[in-house]
Amino acid sequence: MLTRMRFSFLCVLLVVSSLSGSACAHRLAAGRPTFSLLRETRCSRCDIEVLARDIAGASAQDCGWAHDESQRANVVACALEAEATGRPFRMGLELNGIDSTIRAAFVRAPDGSLSRLWYDSDSSGGGAECAAIVSRRPCAALRSAPEEPSLLTCEWEGEGRRICDEAYSPARNWGPPQDASSLECETYWGDRWVCEQREGQPGNVPAGTTLRCMTHPSRLLVCVKGGTEP
């Protein structure tokens, strides 16, 4: 067994779920297993500030964005004042995420609807590219958070839904095929593999196998077998 492969099963699945792209056209010697490394990932970014501005409308009061705790009091006071008068407004807060970037925005639209937007740069916590999402949840009312007056909370009115997901718009650039004969891999789910490169030692990738891989922070390779979409 690979001792360095003892990391979160769920994390592996979520990271691998972000891999996609066209299969490489070039092959090495017939029958030899190959792998291609992810070079670059591009996608349409989820910008919570742009989404908040679009929902609030051009005439909404801009209460600003609190990028640190010292700016929160003024931004929150502005939002509560606008909320009390029923005016359209928008405001945002940078929050303290554990293993990803978290941002929240509160918006009143011209039709009077109030909602919270929530940005998470990677809900799996793996730091993957093009993994951000923005969700929107309707609010019945807005108030200061009881445990922290410089933050806001909603009286919820319905379920949230995603309004932006970077995983649905990726364009990926894959490197050329490389010899995978020295890769030792474990299969976790279907065609999803986690591999370790063992220079000078034979691996266990079957002949003729084609892998597409990205490098995990642990220096392991997280791979998808074959040309199917993960």
* pTM metric for this prediction: 0.61
Strands 161-165 vs 133-145: parallel, antiparallel or unpaired? antiparallel
The pLDDT tens digits of the residues spanning 101-141 come to 999 999 999 999 999 999 999 877 766 778 899 999 999 99
Single-letter amino acid, residue 85: T
Cα 226 to the chain's mean position, in Å? Answer: 24
User: CB of 183 within 8 A of CB of 35?
Assistant: yes
Single-letter amino acid, residue 195: C
Cα dist. 176→26, 37, 38, 61, 76 in Å? 7, 8, 10, 51, 51
Interacting residues of 180 by C-beta distance below 8 A, sequence separation 6+: 32, 33, 34, 35, 195, 203, 205, 209, 211
What value does the mean pLDDT of the chain take? Answer: 81
The pLDDT tens digits of the residues spanning 198-224 come to 888 889 998 888 898 888 777 888 888
The pLDDT tens digits of the residues spanning 166-190 come to 877 767 788 899 999 999 999 766 6
